[in-house]
Structure 1
Amino acid sequence: MLRWERGTVSAVTSSWPGVHRLEVALDDGTGTLRALAYEELTGCPEPGEPVLLNTNALRRELGTGGDAMVVARPEVLPAQAEVRGHMVKARYTPMQTMVDALDDPDSEHYQTVRAAKGVGGMPVVVADLHSSLPAIIAGIRARRRSARIAYVHTDAAALPAAYSKSAARLREAELLTSVISAGQSFGGDLEAVTVHSALLGARHVVGADIAIVIQGPGNLGTGTGWGFSGVQAAESLHAAAVLGGVPVATLRVSGADERERHRGLSHHSSTAYGRALLAPVHLPVLPRTDSRYNAFHESVRKQVKRTILKPAKKRGVLHHLTEVDAKGLRDALEEMPVRMTTMGRTLAEDYPAFQYAALAGRCAAGLLPSGSAPGATRSPA
């Protein structure tokens, strides 16, 4: 159900590419609230303008979705953008939007995508949480600073790619070459109908050396074995594998999560990689010879063996436990132009969460043709 409320814009308090955060005074006189307006859907309402809001996530006090959403501007029709293609995202919802997709017959890139047979060994890093994105990029740049990186924004969480402040800032800092919104997600630099065509676009249109595939902000979890949106990571890794890419699976790790199921190795990684995944992938871990290796990292390694490698092997899937040197990664993470947070915890409060994401990035950079990353080796155990 939608929860509808009416209000009047008091101020535009902040903006980033494609998104405006507003202060809205409610018509019922109960106060003001924060609301988001997406340029692609509604344009930017002006102070003094009435708006219709969807407040269900805000009223339920949800974290990532804790803003009201501007659904309509009763007194204004936003300017109509010209769209050549006929692909629709957020289909059959009142906010369905037309996009120019890479794989649309009317796209200038259509013949390129149509002719592409695969991604030619491109490393593809996949993660569960959107907060891993800047850390993965930090790891890539710690090994290959000049790498061209494309981010594929999937549709398991936030559908508008513009919602991600991290991706916007990384694009502005020229640390991301392109954002491609895949599936029902929309608003990237480029649009694609599937993760598969997004990866083809990353390789053959963007010219990316490495692609990163992650859902947007707003990971949905239930505490059950299969009821979490990050299970889509397995399907993204499948896409990388069938297209001839080199799949790298980011381990979701935490040293500070209060929930036992997410402490050390998260059960989300165990399920996605140990039970749902049908293709072999790289699983980057810290080597035992690393000076930073301690009981925590040994525990994570044992969890990976027990909950990912062993059950996958029983199904005939032989993953690669890939040891990656962590030297310099802390500095690389601290140099990133975005604030590192995951589930409300900062880099200082939960370093392993970002360290393992950075290991995945460095692993991918080491798989590029010119050489391997220092310490990037397969471990039989």
Structure 2
Amino acid sequence: MIIWKKGTVLRVLEESAMFQRVRVKMEAGEEASAVHYPLLLGQTEPGDEVWLNTTAVELQLGTGGDHFVAGWVSKRPESSSPQGHIMKMRYTPWQIAVSTGEEVGNPYRSAVMGRNSLDSWPILLGELHSMLPAVISVWRHRSLQEGRCPRIVYIMTDGGALPLAMSQHVRRLKKLGWLYATVTVGHAFGGDVEAVNLHSALLLARYGLKADLVFVSMGPGIVGTDTPFGFSGVEQGEAVNAVAALEGMPIFIPRIQGEDGRKRHQGVSHHTLTNLTRVVLTPAEVPVPRPLPVRVQTQMESIPQHHHLISVPITEKEVVEFLKIYPVSIQSMGRKVAEDPLFFRTICAGALHLWKRWLNLTDGRSGVKASGEKSDLTR
């Protein structure tokens, strides 16, 4: 069920064509923050009386913090001409028609017609949306250091937030000019290019957007239930299979944490172990930072031998250097680099490894084969 409450918009705190964050006064008199998506209903403004979905805040969930504007109490939502014929959020009151890259009439359709292979192109796959700014900060740092200008594309799946506009990181990275383009997959919407599924999204990114560096993860938010497969991050394993099916090179960022109150996430998260042992059906490259705590090396022994564990030397000091170019402090699960350096070292190791792979590409093919890599980790 949904918890509905009325509120009145007091002022707009943040605004773009796709996103508004507003301050509202609730019926009981307290003030709160709310998110509104103009693409669905039209712009809201001070004085509007609105219906608010307050469920996540009421349940004190991780996706809480903001209410969501679902409509006006006394005025009609705005209508606009559909841009395409593919419905996202299908069969809900908010279903929206978009033009996907695969659709007839879309300018990107010709780029993927007849395409069924990524031709060994490396793709970086992460579980958490909070990995995005760290990954791109590493690539930006390397770009400036080496005088390169790669096209960076982010593919957002629908395992977390569905509106791309919800991501403050994407809005910031686009404004900085560090992120070339975005692709939204499945029921996620609002990217520069829309895609029906991840397979098409990968081809659209590579051939439609001519991406050099590609990162795939869900949007903000992740679901977990403390059961073996009951977490939305299982899609990271499925993404490995999609990349491999298209003859690409899947590079899997493991979720390795030095700090977490939940035993299942201490060291190598059970999400990573489940994905690599049960969900992933094909060999993947798994970059890990060096040095690693002994406990983590022991956990790694349960990862099947057909995966390629790639050691990447990286220190906390180097991570701080990479991330300090980002205009705000990056954190994940409420922790910054100083509070969980192992987690951020792991993310940066993945970004560095993809950068290396990209530098070895010739005409879209890698000169370094994954099968030739030998792990120097203790198994």
Q: TM-score, normalised by structure 2?
A: 0.90
CA distance in structure 1 between the aligned counterparts of 2:311 and 2:143, rounded to whole angstroms: 17
Q: Which residue of structure 1 aligns with residue 129 of structure 2?
A: 130
Call closer, same or farther: CA 1:370–1:277 in 2, change over 3 Å.
Answer: closer
Q: Secondary structure at the match of 1:342?
A: coil
Count of aligned positions: 363
Once the two structures are superposed, the pairs formed by residues 252-267 of structure 1 within 5 Å of their partners are 252-267=255-270
Equivalent of residue 190 in structure 1, options 190, 193, 218 = 193
User: Any gaps of 5 or more consecutive residues in structure 2?
Assistant: 362-366
8 Å contact kept, 2:152–2:181: yes
Correspondence for 1:325 among 288, 313, 316 = 313
Q: What are the residue-to-residue correspondences of 1:112-261 with 2, within 5 Å?
A: 112-144=111-143, 146-261=149-264
Aligned-partner SS, 2:225: coil
Partner of 2:110: 111
Aligned AA (2:313): D
Amino acid at match of 1:253: I
Query: 1:268 aligned to 2:267?
Result: no
What whole-Å deviation, never above 9, does each CA across 1:314-352 have from its counterpart, x for those lacking one? xxxx11011123263331122223431111111221121
Q: Once structures 1 and 2 are overlaid, which stretch shifts more, 266-275 or 80-89? A: 80-89
Q: Structure 2 vs 1, CA of residues 167 and 11 (structure 1 numbering), >3 Å: closer, same or farther?
A: same
> What amino acid is the match of 1:94?
P
Secondary structure at the residue paired with 1:341?
coil
What's the CA shift string for 1:20-70, capped at 9, x where partnerless? Answer: 11111123x342221100121123211001111111111111123331111
Are 2:339 and 1:349 aligned? yes
Determine if contact 1:180/1:188 at 8 Å carries over to the other structure. yes
Alignment correspondent of 1:2: 2
Shift of 1:78: 4.8
Q: By how many angstroms is 1:131 displaced?
A: 0.7
CA contact (8 A) 2:71 2:77 kept: no
CA-based RMSD: 2.1
Letter in 1 for 2:298: K
Structure 1 Cα separation of the partners of residues 285 and 343 of structure 2: 18
Whole-Å Cα distance in 1 between the matches of residues 42 and 109 of structure 2?
29
2:301 corresponds to: 305
Amino acid at match of 1:18: M
Relative contact order, higher structure (CA 8 A, sep 6+): 1
Query: Does the 8 Å contact 1:153/1:180 carry over to 2?
Result: yes
Task: Please say if residues 122 and 211 of structure 1, whose CA atoms lie closer than 8 Å, have aligned partners that are also in contact.
Answer: no
Amino acid at match of 1:236: A
Aligned-pair CA distance for 1:77: 4.0
Contact 2:320 2:337 in 1 (8 A): no
Question: Normalising by the residue count of structure 1, what TM-score does the alignment of the two structures yield?
Answer: 0.90
For residue 266 of structure 1, report the CA deviation from its aligned partner.
0.7
Tell me if structure 1 keeps the 8 A contact 2:20–2:37. Answer: yes
Contact 1:84 1:107 in 2 (8 A): no
108-117 vs 230-239, greater mean Cα deviation: 108-117
Task: Give the distance between the partners of 2:221 and 2:6, measured in 1 at CA.
Answer: 25
After superposition, give the CA deviation of every residue in 1:133-167 in whole Å (9 maximum; x if it has no partner).
11222333454552221111001111111101011
Deviation at 1:17, TM superposition (A): 6.2
Distance across 1 between alignment mates of 2:374 and 2:75: 59
Q: Secondary structure at the match of 1:214?
A: strand
Of 232-241 and 8-17, more deviation after overlay is shown by 8-17
2:360 pairs with one of 352, 370, 374: 370
Residues 54, 67 of structure 2: 8 Å contact kept:
yes
CA distance in 2, matches of 1:275, 1:254: 21
Following superposition, the deviation at residue 243 of structure 1 comes to 1.1
Distance in 1 of aligned mates of 2:176 and 2:83 = 30
CA drift at 1:257: 1.0
Q: Distance in 2 between matches of 1:379 and 1:93?
A: 48
Distance 1:301 1:249 in 2: 17
Change (3 A) 1:142 1:329: farther
Q: Deviations over 1:70-98 (max 9, x none)?
A: 11124444544433420111111111111
Looking at structure 1, the residues matched to 374 and 76 of structure 2 have their Cα atoms a distance apart, in angstroms, of: 57
Other structure's SS at 1:21 match: strand
Identity across matched positions, percent: 36
Retained in 2: the 8 A contact 1:323–1:377?
A: no
1:95 aligns with 2:94: yes
Q: Mapping of 1:35-46 within 5 angstroms?
A: 35-46=34-45
**Other-structure match for 2:364:** none
The Cα of 1:380 is off from its aligned counterpart by 5.5
